[in-house]
Amino acid sequence: GAAALTKVCFFDSDSGILIIRVSRDFYRKLLLAMACVTHLKGLGIMIRCLKVTSTARTCIKGMKVILNASSSGGDTSVDLDNIKASL
Protein backbone atom coordinates (compact mmCIF):
# COMPACT_ATOMS: atom_id res chain seq x y z
CA GLY A 1 0.00 0.00 0.00
CA ALA A 2 0.84 3.68 -0.08
CA ALA A 3 1.87 3.72 3.58
CA ALA A 4 4.76 1.40 2.81
CA LEU A 5 5.99 3.83 0.15
CA THR A 6 6.12 6.96 2.32
CA LYS A 7 8.30 8.13 5.18
CA VAL A 8 8.13 11.48 6.95
CA CYS A 9 11.80 12.29 7.39
CA PHE A 10 11.66 15.79 8.86
CA PHE A 11 9.23 18.46 10.01
CA ASP A 12 10.10 21.91 11.35
CA SER A 13 7.12 23.76 12.81
CA ASP A 14 8.89 27.15 12.77
CA SER A 15 9.58 27.11 9.04
CA GLY A 16 6.65 24.84 8.15
CA ILE A 17 8.93 22.62 6.10
CA LEU A 18 8.11 18.93 5.77
CA ILE A 19 10.33 16.39 4.03
CA ILE A 20 8.61 13.24 2.82
CA ARG A 21 10.52 10.39 1.22
CA VAL A 22 8.56 8.42 -1.36
CA SER A 23 9.34 6.06 -4.19
CA ARG A 24 9.88 7.49 -7.64
CA ASP A 25 6.76 5.71 -8.87
CA PHE A 26 4.57 7.23 -6.13
CA TYR A 27 5.63 10.90 -5.91
CA ARG A 28 3.17 12.18 -8.52
CA LYS A 29 0.27 10.57 -6.68
CA LEU A 30 1.47 12.18 -3.44
CA LEU A 31 1.66 15.62 -5.09
CA LEU A 32 -1.91 15.24 -6.33
CA ALA A 33 -3.12 14.11 -2.90
CA MET A 34 -1.37 17.02 -1.16
CA ALA A 35 -3.10 19.47 -3.49
CA CYS A 36 -6.45 18.20 -2.18
CA VAL A 37 -5.59 18.98 1.46
CA THR A 38 -7.17 22.32 2.37
CA HIS A 39 -7.64 22.05 6.16
CA LEU A 40 -5.63 20.60 9.03
CA LYS A 41 -7.09 20.50 12.52
CA GLY A 42 -9.74 23.00 11.49
CA LEU A 43 -7.28 25.50 10.02
CA GLY A 44 -7.18 26.42 6.36
CA ILE A 45 -3.82 25.50 4.84
CA MET A 46 -2.05 25.46 1.51
CA ILE A 47 0.59 22.86 0.75
CA ARG A 48 3.29 23.68 -1.80
CA CYS A 49 5.93 21.37 -3.16
CA LEU A 50 9.14 23.40 -3.07
CA LYS A 51 11.45 20.80 -4.55
CA VAL A 52 11.50 17.23 -5.84
CA THR A 53 14.90 15.58 -5.61
CA SER A 54 16.23 12.12 -6.31
CA THR A 55 18.92 11.84 -3.63
CA ALA A 56 19.45 12.87 -0.02
CA ARG A 57 22.39 15.02 -1.14
CA THR A 58 20.30 17.10 -3.55
CA CYS A 59 17.57 17.35 -0.91
CA ILE A 60 20.05 18.95 1.52
CA LYS A 61 21.34 21.32 -1.18
CA GLY A 62 17.78 22.34 -2.01
CA MET A 63 16.95 22.90 1.66
CA LYS A 64 19.93 25.23 2.02
CA VAL A 65 18.76 27.31 -0.94
CA ILE A 66 15.16 27.44 0.29
CA LEU A 67 16.07 28.29 3.88
CA ASN A 68 18.62 30.93 2.89
CA ALA A 69 16.11 32.56 0.56
CA SER A 70 13.42 32.66 3.23
CA SER A 71 15.58 34.03 6.05
CA SER A 72 16.75 37.63 6.06
CA GLY A 73 20.35 37.10 7.10
CA GLY A 74 20.86 33.61 5.76
CA ASP A 75 20.80 32.26 9.32
CA THR A 76 18.27 29.58 10.13
CA SER A 77 17.38 27.56 13.19
CA VAL A 78 16.91 24.38 11.13
CA ASP A 79 19.78 21.96 11.75
CA LEU A 80 20.70 20.58 8.33
CA ASP A 81 22.88 17.86 9.90
CA ASN A 82 19.79 16.44 11.64
CA ILE A 83 17.92 16.50 8.34
CA LYS A 84 20.76 14.67 6.64
CA ALA A 85 20.80 12.02 9.37
CA SER A 86 17.04 11.45 9.07
CA LEU A 87 17.16 10.85 5.31
How many whole angstroms separate alpha carbon 65 and alpha carbon 63? 5
Residue 44 CA from chain centroid, whole number: 19
- Work out the end-to-end distance of the chain between its first and last CA atoms, rounded to an integer number of angstroms: 21
The per-residue pLDDT for 37 is 93
- Half-sphere exposure at residue 27, Cβ-oriented, CA atoms within 13 angstroms: 11
Please report the beta strands in the chain, taking only residues with DSSP state E, as ranges in sequence order: 6-12, 17-22, 39-40, 43-44
- For the chain (87 residues), the mean pLDDT of every run of 10, in chain order, is 72 82 87 92 90 84 78 58 66
What is the secondary structure of 2-15 as a DSSP string? Answer: GGGGEEEEEEETTT
